[in-house]
Amino acid sequence: MISMINAFHKEGIQVITYGKASGGGIVGYELLRRRPELPGYTDGRPWLENYDAAYLDYIETISPTKFGEQRMVPGSPEEMEKDGYKGAGWFQ
């Protein structure tokens, strides 16, 4: 990665990083359960995406990722069910 960044710099391209508020999956849920002071809040709601019990159920149902999976998002719940992620289809 460093060599890629250096190549970009030679071309005048600057590199930035981006962190999503929803990162962390199940580990992130546990961290925020234990440390609710970490996220920012507006009107009593944390600045997080999809952090609710239904989404946690979905993550737990489709986890762990199947060995050899190359896709970041393995498809819709219906496609995932067909690909062997048992129970994913329920979340359609």
pLDDT band at 11 (very low <50, low <70, confident <90, very high): very high
DSSP, collapsed to helix, strand or coil, labels residue 35 as coil
Tell me which of 63 and 77 has the higher pLDDT.
Answer: 77
Answer whether residue 69 is part of any domain. yes
Query: How many C-alpha atoms does 45 have within 13 Å on its Cβ side?
Result: 7
Indicate the number of domains in the chain.
1
**Enclosing domain of residue 40:** 21-91
Lowest mean pLDDT across 4-8, 13-17, 71-75, 81-85:
71-75
- pLDDT, position 50: 60
CA distance 92 to 72: 19
Answer whether residue 72 is part of any domain. yes
Answer whether residue 41 is part of any domain. yes
The pTM assigned to this predicted structure is 0.46
pLDDT in tens, 14-68: 888 766 655 667 777 788 778 888 877 778 777 766 667 777 777 778 777 778 8
- pLDDT, position 60: 78
- pLDDT, position 27: 78
Answer whether residue 64 is part of any domain. yes
CA distance 13 to 51: 35
Tokens of 80: 């995932």
